[in-house]
Amino acid sequence: PRTTRSSENQSSGAAMDPLAVLRDYAARGDLDKIIFNGDDVLFGDDYTFPANAPTAFTSKQSGRPYPLSAAVFLAQHNDLKHTDFLQAARLRRIPPVSLPDRKTFLDFLHFGDSSLPSAEPLLPSSFAQDAHPPPPPPPPENEEGEGPDADDASTAHVRALERPLKDRNAVLDARGRDFLAIYHAALRREEDRLRNKDAAPSATGRHEPSAAAAASLANPKLDKSLGDGFVPIILVPSASQTLITIYNVRDFLEDFVFVPSDEKMRAMKGSPKPECVTLQKKHVRGAGGPVAFEVRDKPASLKADDWARVVAVFVLGKEWQFKDWPFKGHVDIFNKVIGFFVRFEDDSVDSAKVVKQWNVKIISISKNKRHQDRPAALEVWDRLDEFVRARS
């Protein structure tokens, strides 16, 4: 590498190692006299080295030597936080020193044996493995060995021995932590708990509506208000030909986007169909906070207490959907449970011919315009809010 020095010291300067010069400038407190000049690094008026000259300072990870520019830049900016240091080095197009190599080099720079001859490699690794940097000299004491000056000197001595491990930014750094996965795991645990609680099939494997169920629905008033531990139930059809099913109901009511059920089924890759889905409505009038709803598609598995929590149903438009329900007929059903029929806006009128005879709200969505899903889902929530508030 090219090395120059003033005329009186030219012969000795040719063999001088740049790291030895850098360490000498650091010991004298003259790092500010080192400047970058194009492709060179100028050490005052004494030495000039190529900025890209390889040094004995190597990367622990790759084993490649750092150029002189990287060592000088670290020596001059070691007071920066490492993230700020990396950004500043990249802006100057200087190879940044990694965090593990940074401490090793700074220990070498400030505590290394400056009397090492230039023939020996000026590597931090050349020091003995069990060697430790000598501590700073003890603080001077005044004549009495006490007093304010002694206290200040002791404090300075302690701080000189400190080595920062983490700052407030490092403690608050949450990269690598997936809080959304934690949230979904909690929802799955709640769904499992509800399934285990309600999984009590009869000997025939089918739950027949009882007189107790009908009695519990005699009074449509809700015993508890939303957000007070009361979890309402929304029923959806189990048939695949309906638009809203247990597969895509969360996408529609919680995320405000319609996803076809067959797409959701393919994404599950053969996983069993969920028996209960829990979703949240963040803003419900009359509730103190987010309200959880259960969505189910097997009315036959509901118990008497469960029927008292049913507040809404997405209808298929077929009479058999309400077989064995503990109600007297359509009038009784839709007085105590609000009904919704979701259809594509360009479907024929005949598809809603039967539904128009019932007291249900018809919700139209587009086959292709997904930006229209949000108003449709919000209309469902608005109607449901009004209905629940009237029952409470």
**In this structure, what token pair is assigned to residue 380?**
């469902």
Q: CB within 8 A of 157, min separation 6: which ones?
A: 136, 138, 139
What's the CATH number of domain 233-390, 3.40.50.11990, 3.90.550.10, 3.40.50.970, 3.40.50.300?
A: 3.40.50.11990
Checking if the pLDDT of 377 tops 90, the result is yes
User: What's the average model confidence in pLDDT over 284-311?
Assistant: 80
**pTM summary value:** 0.44
Checking if the pLDDT of 70 tops 80, the result is yes
pLDDT band at residue 81, thresholds of 50, 70 and 90? Answer: confident
Checking if the pLDDT of 292 tops 70, the result is yes
Write down the residue that tokens 């209905």 correspond to.
Answer: 387
What is the residue extent of each domain of the chain? 18-111, 233-390
Query: Rounded to 5 degrees, what angle do the CA atoms 387, 333, 214 make?
Result: 110
Checking if the pLDDT of 136 tops 80, the result is no
User: What's the average model confidence in pLDDT over 204-223?
Assistant: 48
**pLDDT for residue 223:** 45
- What are 236-284's pLDDT values in tens digits? 998 777 899 999 999 999 989 999 998 888 888 878 888 899 988 865 5
**pLDDT for residue 193:** 80
Percent of the chain whose pLDDT exceeds 70: 68
**In this structure, what token pair is assigned to residue 195?**
């399934």
Write down the residue that tokens 């249900």 correspond to.
Answer: 360
